Amino acid sequence: MRKRFSFGVVVFVIAGLVAPGAALAGQPVDGSALTPPVLAGTPCYQDGRWVRCDTSNISSYTYGPTDIDLPCGTIYEAGVDDRHATRWYEDGLLVKRSVQASFRGYWSLSPTGDAPRVGVYGDWNWWIRLEVHGDESTGVLTSHGNGLRVAGMRSLLRDTGIWLPDGTHHGLLTFTDEAIDQLCDLLAG
C-alpha cells in the first residue's frame, strides 16, 4: 500500500511540473500573425517552442505542355500531384519548411494525351531552411528522393538521390542523349 501511495505522489508531482508546458502544446495559433503569414484556413498550433502549420493538397491536371522540348517534339503531361507541407515558426518568424511529394502521371507528344504515352513517377521531399528567419529569399534548399522515373526506361532516364544547397547531386542522374532518343522512340510508338 505504501509503495502505491509513494508512486502516486511521484506521478502527481511530475504531472504538476509537466502540465504547464503541456497545456500550451496543441493550442491553435493565428497564422495571419506569423511572418510570412500562411494562407487563410491553414491549421497552425503550438508545438513546444515552435508554431507548426500543416497543409496538404492533391492536384490533378489534364494534358498541358511542359518546358521539356525534345528532338521529337514537346512533351505534354497529365497527372496527380500529392503534397504534404509543414512550416515551423519560432518567435513568429518562419525558420524552416518541408514538403513531401508524390507524383503519378503520363507524358505524351499529343496535346490531348493520345497514345503512345509513357508513365512518369516521382516520390521526393525537400527542406528549405531560412538563413534569416522570416525572410523567404534567404531559403536554402535540400531535396532528395526519386524525383523522376519514366516507365519502360529502367535507369536510362532517372533523377534519384540528393541535391544539396550548393547544387551538388549525389545519386543517379541520367539525362543522356541515349535516354532522350529512347524516350522519343517510346513516345513516337
Q: Is residue 4 part of a domain?
A: no
Mean pLDDT of the chain: 88
| Whole-prediction pTM | 0.76
What is the distance between the alpha carbons of residues 143 and 100, in angstroms, rounded to a whole number? Answer: 10
Residue 17 has pLDDT above 90, yes or no: no
Domain membership flag for residue 81: yes
Question: pLDDT-derived band of residue 53, with 50, 70 and 90 as boundaries?
Answer: very high
Instruction: Identify the pLDDT of residue 25.
Output: 62
Q: Within a domain: residue 1?
A: no
Q: Which domain holds residue 114?
A: 26-188
Residue 79 is which amino acid?
G
38: Cα separation from own chain's centroid: 16
pLDDT recorded at residue 26: 85
User: Bigger pLDDT: 1 or 159?
Assistant: 159
Could you give the C-alpha distances from 65 to 72, 73, 116, 187, in angstroms and in order? 14, 10, 16, 15
